[in-house]
């Protein structure tokens, strides 16, 4: 579950620059585009992977909609979770269906639903070293007909701050070599459960490339020790 949530956070915060035509050059996705993101622990051992495939793309004026199949696999390559989402870019603003971050099967539980707020963050069409980027956040709340269960589950909120473009570098992954912008940021994940709130603070480094999007991201704990990293391991158009 931790890996699912981590990959999800990477995706919602690091792919807001998704569509090219009227929106942004950092992703050039079309029907049939496929990519795989693989997450490793600090020792380089695979923890999970996520495959995303664009199954349909529609355009109307300044609005573009990508229907996307997403499948999460565990470290043994066995499927853990799959879902289809819509990614929307309109007037230069990217929006993503946050329901994909629900724990597997939770929304099928009778009397239980999940509500979402927030839109992640955006990435402008032009980046330059030294540029500061907007903060972003989203939250997920579990609702239930059972007051005791609703109180126990609480919710989760994520805030990402202090985003800044600090360099331009060439990054090599199993998917190839890419010219990237390097972006640093801080993330706070607060989870409420059984009346208590637990907050996990991390810092991140992200590398994004035109036409491809996220190439690599590294997550560090409060002591600036690498805790995990995710990189692009396959890409095809």
Domain ranges of the chain: 2-236
- DSSP state for residue 107 in the 8-state scheme: G
- Which residues make Cβ contacts (< 8 Å) with residue 198, sequence separation at least 6? 190, 191
Q: Which of 101, 79, 97 is nearest to 88 (CA)?
A: 97
* Rounded-to-integer distance, Cα 207 and Cα 211, Å: 13
Which residues of the chain fall short of a pLDDT of 50? 1-7, 9, 11-22, 100-109
* Rounded-to-integer distance, Cα 146 and Cα 51, Å: 35
Instruction: Return the pLDDT at 97.
Output: 52
Fold designation for 2-236? YmcC-like fold (2.40.360)
Q: Which of 19, 22, 107, 116 is nearest to 61 (CA)?
A: 22
Give residue for tokens 């998917």: 175
Instruction: Return the pLDDT at 16.
Output: 43
Please state, in angstroms and as integers, the Cα–Cα distance from residue 55 to each residue in 52, 65, 92, 111, 152, following that order: 9, 11, 22, 32, 38
Instruction: Return the pLDDT at 191.
Output: 81
Please state, in angstroms and as integers, the Cα–Cα distance from residue 52 to each residue in 40, 44, 148, 152, 237, following that order: 18, 22, 37, 33, 12
pLDDT in tens, 53-110: 999 988 887 777 888 898 989 999 999 888 888 877 776 655 555 554 444 444 444 5
Q: Is the pTM for the entire model greater than 0.85?
A: no
Q: Which of 200, 130, 101, 193 is nearest to 160 (CA)?
A: 200
Instruction: Return the pLDDT at 15.
Output: 45
């Amino acid at each position: 579950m931790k890996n699912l949530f981590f990959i999800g956070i990477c995706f919602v915060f690091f792919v807001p620059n998704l569509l090219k035509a009227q929106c942004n050059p950092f992703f050039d996705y079309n029907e049939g585009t496929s990519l795989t993101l693989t997450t490793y622990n600090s020792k380089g051992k695979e923890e999970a992977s996520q495959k995303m495939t664009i199954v349909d793309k529609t355009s109307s004026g300044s609005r573009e909609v990508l229907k996307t199949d997403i499948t999460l696999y565990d470290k043994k390559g066995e499927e853990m979770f799959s879902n289809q989402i819509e990614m929307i870019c309109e007037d230069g603003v990217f929006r993503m269906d946050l329901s994909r971050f629900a724990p597997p099967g939770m929304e099928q539980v009778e009397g239980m639903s999940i509500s979402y707020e927030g839109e992640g963050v955006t990435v402008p069409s032009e980046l330059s070293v030294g540029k500061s980027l907007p903060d972003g956040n989203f939250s997920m709340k579990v609702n239930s007909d059972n007051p005791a269960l609703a109180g126990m589950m609480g919710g989760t909120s994520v805030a990402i701050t202090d985003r800044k473009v600090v360099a331009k570098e060439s990054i090599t992954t199993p998917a190839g070599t890419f010219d990237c912008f390097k972006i640093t940021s801080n993330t706070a994940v607060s989870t409420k459960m059984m009346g208590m709130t637990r907050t996990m603070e991390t810092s991140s480094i992200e590398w994004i490339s035109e036409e491809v999007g996220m190439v690599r991201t590294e997550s560090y704990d409060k002591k600036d020790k690498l805790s995990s990293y995710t990189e692009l391991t396959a890409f095809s158009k």
